[in-house]
Structure 1
Amino acid sequence: MAELRVALCQINSVVGDIDANTKRILSALAAAEQAGCHAAVFPELAVTGYPPEDLVLKRRFVQDSRDAVEHIAARSGSCAAVVGFVDGADGCQNAAGVAANGRLEGVYHKRELPNYGVFDERRYFLPGTGDPVLHDVAGVVVGVSICEDAWVSGGPMSLMAAAGAEVIFNLNASPYHVGKLDQRVGVLRQRVSETGCAVAYANLVGGQDELVFDGTSLMLDAGGRIIAQAPPFREHLLIAEVEVADRPELSPPPAIPQEINQVDPGLDELHEQYEALVLATRDYVHKNGFTDVGIGVSGGIDSSLVAAIATDALGADHVHGVLMPSRYSSDHSVADAEALCRNLGIDHRVIPVEPGHQAFLNMLAPSFDGLDPDLAEENVQSRIRGTLLMALSNKFGWLILTTGNKSESAVGYSTLYGDTAGAYAVIKDLWKLQVYAFARYRNQRAGRDLIPENVLVKPPSAELRPDQRDDQSLPPYEVLDPLLEAYVEGDLTLADLCGQGYDPELVSRITGLVDRAEYKRRQNPPGVRITAKAFGRDRRLPITNRYRGGD
């Protein structure tokens, strides 16, 4: 059997930065050529970044994308470059260009356009049509497909195999969520079984707004066995050799003194998710032109975890903690927040909110005269904190990270223009119980109490009134989180939940809170998605909505 040597170029593109993406592609292509590869396969829309969204409505953007591919083609050599870009030759299309020996030899247009979950490709692209176009790569008949093409049984890959393809290249921008790798491998093995072709799967890596791409590029042989796998959550050039039927025109690749067909062992689930949070945070900060972040550190579990993730993402010198105690803050909250900052090695400052709090109460006193104190007075404190953080952001150029979790966001346990004020919500897709699990995981990984033990064991509280605790307003998170997960991620109705044994009164109250908080979530900052259904791009419910789904 002869061997085809392929470089799976797992790169981190920046949406809209066509020049920088092109340079990154050319650098990887040069490395692949030097390694004696017959082909270098890049991710979906590697030239433009993914998803480009409404940028593709700009005709100049589409032309710039095509020009970049022509430039890459002109720089290509004997190693064929298979590069994703936006094409505008016949309407706007999600395309892959195949280039070698200084010219663009062909272009494939994606046929299957996903339009579910976080994907909106039918809004932007026309599907490819016509007979499959195959390419000769070092004497091997190769089909080129793009992402969703691989998820359709009897689809484009089957057509390519029927037309004579021996190996299929698949370019991807497949976003991460828990369990996604297993799904991909299962689907790819189905396509291998249907086609009898080996599959080279190149995936994008990096954070882009709410999405994070894990990479984990793969090479499967014609038996469905993973013969090479790239590490997740970092750029990597994976060189794989796959056996193909003996052909006299396939020359053996040169001997290269480096490891071929490496299979990364992967990460355990908590480590995998944590690395997704770190990468997404780093890329959001850096790709948006920031170096430093500010975090309101309260001594609670949520802000402690966010501070730890930010420190891992950016380095301690670029993370700034802000302690903003009020008249209701406990002594241990301040002490725990200070201990956390010392443990992480980040700087911190203390700005008591009491002067501003009292000033606001004095200003509001005529309007509130004769009324009992309630949520209005409580939320003033949170909004003062938001104002302080944004003032520090303006003065020092910090990007502010918010600290709300998915449980709080679900039921509206947050203050608009207060604790929701900021640019990026690091843990917005973590249920409260997951926040505790990640904090313990990070301590275990550090081999010490990086996040102080008292933060992990004390009852969670917003500390906006005397002796306040979360469980005075909400059921215990051990009860709340599974109910919310079933309603939010499982799309169950009130009747469904009651049928599963949940208390009808509890179901009515909690689902009512979720539905009424939709207007708040629409105003929250973006944050990384690590589940199959996060608030934001995945879950799009009307704000004005009276459907309850009960008997």
Structure 2
Amino acid sequence: MKGQTIMLGVSIFQINASVGDFHKNAGKLREASLRAQKEGAGLLVAPLGALAGYPVEGFARRAEFLLGQKEAFTTLTETLAVPVLFGMTPGIVLVENGKNRLVVSGEVVEISGTRFGILTQIDSLSASVSDMKLRGAEAVLVISADPFKRSRPAERLILAKKAAKELHLPILFANLVGGADEWVFDGSSFVCNRQGVCTARLSRSAEDFKTVDLTNAQELPDSSPDELGELYDALVLALHDYVYKNGFQSVQIGLSGGIDSALTAAISADALGPENVYTLMMPTRYTTDLSLTEAKRLAKNLGIHYTIRPIGALFDAYRKELAEDFEGTTWDATEENLQARIRGNLLMAYANKFGRLVIATSNKSESAAGYATLYGDTTGAFEAISDIYKTDVWALARYRNARAGRELIPESIISRAPSAELREGQKDSQSLPEYPVLDAVLRLYVEQGKPVSEIVKAGFDRCLVERIVRMTHRAEFKRRQCPIGARVSDVPFSGPIWDYPMTVKLEK
């Protein structure tokens, strides 16, 4: 029976490839092939983008980019120690016995005596595997670059287990790992045997290599769901790769004594090492003693750099310069935003002077409601938590403390009432609905696409829902000017699903 001849040893290389870094990526593939040979594998499998990086977007149309890939590929094929199946622009290539050929998703190919069905999308398993089996496939290899989003690792495994069990075929899923602009790929590659049980699993959010036996019957112990851990690690990876792949070593963050900047600092310290995280506390007369105390405590807990640079004198100078033109007006958002923009200017000054990247600290709830200052707290090259709702910011902070086994982020920061501290006694709740309510409505409207009428039926006040919807669309012009950040939700504001215009009239 054909199933008895299936290749026993297949190596999976879950590579973190950089777009355009052909020779480094090729070097990694070469070393992986030598390791596969040493471990007795008959085939090395690597994900989409293994040679050119992913996504290459417009570079796929650039002749010089494709030529660079071709040159690296030609050199690589001469040095591979075992047959290798991997992704390169524009598809999948098989290198075997000194020869190479392109492989199309859905094709069944024979490699070293075993017939493999090849796919690039794990979501197409149920529709494709039965046809592949009819065409003689003895196992299925999913060569993928499947981006991370919450619950996605578990979804993939469920899909593969179901298809493997129903069609009695082993399924290997090889996924890309790493950050690429707004994309973050979590890896989390795995193997399911023909009984539909998971027999091998690779690391999440880290480059990894493993040689597996496709006929192995021993099931891995079920691991309890760890959605917050997966999410946190994806955010760390996205920030790490954005900084380092763009040639920087360190970051500049504005600390406020609040939860958003605290979580951003923790993510940055985990991503880059605390020695590469520089923070700036920029108080005014509206900054509370608690903010000053807890920001300093946070920096000490994380081991990051901490500088206090008061901006009261700068703020007063602005007000004095504008006093004649603003005569007869009262304090409003203008004066509040001035403070935020002074802080943004100082952050950029420190970053420019010392060669750092500014990491912005706004969350998805604030971004949805437009509760942020353009060219102020939105200043930065990357936004670490831009796709994270406020309620998840709190959850992630507590998760990080639990992982550390101590209070890295002081509980007083997590539990205090959120405030921008741009005027005396200011609280976020004076301008926004309470965050648990705001986030619940946003999840229904943004993530699930529910109309106002259905959200109201779910138990929310109509006036409140309509207000949140209006705020969300009116803030579109702000979001278009904000730094990029990792897409980790079903509907990130920066993604193709959320495709609303900036200019629109919303009827009450």
Range into which the TM-score falls when normalised by the shorter chain: over 0.9
Match of 1:102 in 2: 98
Q: Deviations over 1:199-251 (max 9, x none)?
A: 2211111111112111111112222221111121111112111239xxxxxxx
Aligned residue identity for 1:151: S
Shift, 1:8, TM fit: 0.9
Query: Does residue 42 of structure 2 align to residue 38 of structure 1?
Result: yes
Q: 2:232 aligns with which of 256, 260, 274?
A: 274
The question of whether the paired residues in 2 share the 8 Å contact of 1:238 and 1:262 is answered with: no
Shift, 1:311, TM fit: 0.8
Shift, 1:362, TM fit: 1.8
The question of whether the paired residues in 1 share the 8 Å contact of 2:108 and 2:137 is answered with: no
Shift, 1:96, TM fit: 1.0
Match of 1:134 in 2: 109
Shift, 1:437, TM fit: 1.3
Query: Does residue 340 of structure 2 align to residue 386 of structure 1?
Result: no
The question of whether the paired residues in 1 share the 8 Å contact of 2:9 and 2:41 is answered with: yes
CA distance in 2, matches of 1:473, 1:230: 45
Query: Does residue 499 of structure 2 align to residue 540 of structure 1?
Result: yes
Q: Deviations over 1:106-132 (max 9, x none)?
A: 211346xxxxxxxxxxxxxxxxxxxx3
CA distance in 1, matches of 2:71, 2:10: 25
Query: Does residue 459 of structure 2 align to residue 501 of structure 1?
Result: yes
Q: 1:518 aligns with which of 431, 451, 476?
A: 476
Match of 1:430 in 2: 388
Query: Does residue 102 of structure 2 align to residue 80 of structure 1?
Result: no
Q: Deviations over 1:503-548 (max 9, x none)?
A: 1111111111111001101111111122222121142221123366
CA distance in 1, matches of 2:349, 2:32: 42
Aligned residue identity for 2:109: L
Paired-residue identity, %: 40
Q: Secondary structure at the match of 1:243?
A: coil
Q: Deviations over 1:168-199 (max 9, x none)?
A: 22101011111112221232234435644222
Q: Which moved more, 1:234-243 or 1:359-368?
A: 359-368
Aligned residue identity for 1:101: N
Q: Secondary structure at the match of 1:419?
A: coil
Q: Deviations over 1:352-390 (max 9, x none)?
A: 111211111122222211111100111000000000000
Query: Does residue 61 of structure 2 align to residue 57 of structure 1?
Result: yes
Query: Does residue 134 of structure 2 align to residue 154 of structure 1?
Result: no
Q: Secondary structure at the match of 2:306?
A: strand
Q: Deviations over 1:46-91 (max 9, x none)?
A: 11111111111112222333443333322223x21001011xxxxx
Shift, 1:423, TM fit: 0.9
Q: 1:228 to 1:425 in 2, by over 3 A?
A: same
Q: 1:39 to 1:33 in 2, by over 3 A?
A: same
Aligned residue identity for 1:546: K
Q: Which moved more, 1:364-373 or 1:168-177?
A: 364-373
Q: 2:354 aligns with which of 396, 402, 407?
A: 396
Q: Which moved more, 1:63-72 or 1:267-276?
A: 63-72
Residues 184-223 of structure 1 correspond to what in structure 2 (within 5 A)? Answer: 184-193=156-165, 195-223=167-195
| Unmatched runs of 5 consecutive residues or more in structure 1 | 87-93, 112-131, 245-259
Query: Does residue 336 of structure 2 align to residue 363 of structure 1?
Result: no
Q: Deviations over 1:454-481 (max 9, x none)?
A: 2122211000111100111112112111
The question of whether the paired residues in 1 share the 8 Å contact of 2:239 and 2:384 is answered with: yes
CA distance in 2, matches of 1:310, 1:456: 18
Aligned residue identity for 2:68: D
TM-score (norm 2): 0.94
Aligned length: 502
Q: 1:510 to 1:347 in 2, by over 3 A?
A: same
Q: Secondary structure at the match of 2:325?
A: helix
CA distance in 2, matches of 1:60, 1:221: 42
The question of whether the paired residues in 2 share the 8 Å contact of 1:8 and 1:238 is answered with: yes
Q: 1:321 to 1:273 in 2, by over 3 A?
A: same
Q: Which moved more, 1:11-20 or 1:382-391?
A: 11-20
Match of 1:125 in 2: none
Query: Does residue 275 of structure 2 align to residue 317 of structure 1?
Result: yes
The question of whether the paired residues in 2 share the 8 Å contact of 1:240 and 1:261 is answered with: no
The question of whether the paired residues in 1 share the 8 Å contact of 2:198 and 2:219 is answered with: no
Q: Deviations over 1:290-313 (max 9, x none)?
A: 111111001111111111111111
Match of 1:457 in 2: 415
Q: Secondary structure at the match of 2:392?
A: helix
TM-score (norm 1): 0.87
Q: 1:177 aligns with which of 145, 149, 154?
A: 149
Residues 403-442 of structure 1 correspond to what in structure 2 (within 5 A)? Answer: 403-442=361-400
Aligned residue identity for 1:421: T
Q: Secondary structure at the match of 2:214?
A: strand
Q: 1:452 to 1:208 in 2, by over 3 A?
A: same
The question of whether the paired residues in 2 share the 8 Å contact of 1:203 and 1:215 is answered with: yes
Q: 1:154 to 1:452 in 2, by over 3 A?
A: closer
Q: Deviations over 1:376-424 (max 9, x none)?
A: 1110000000000000010001111111111101100000000000011
Match of 1:335 in 2: 293
Q: 1:63 to 1:161 in 2, by over 3 A?
A: farther
CA distance in 2, matches of 1:285, 1:506: 39
CA distance in 2, matches of 1:194, 1:449: 47
Q: Secondary structure at the match of 1:368?
A: coil
The question of whether the paired residues in 2 share the 8 Å contact of 1:69 and 1:97 is answered with: no
| Unmatched runs of 5 consecutive residues or more in structure 2 | none
CA distance in 2, matches of 1:311, 1:99: 40
Aligned residue identity for 2:146: S
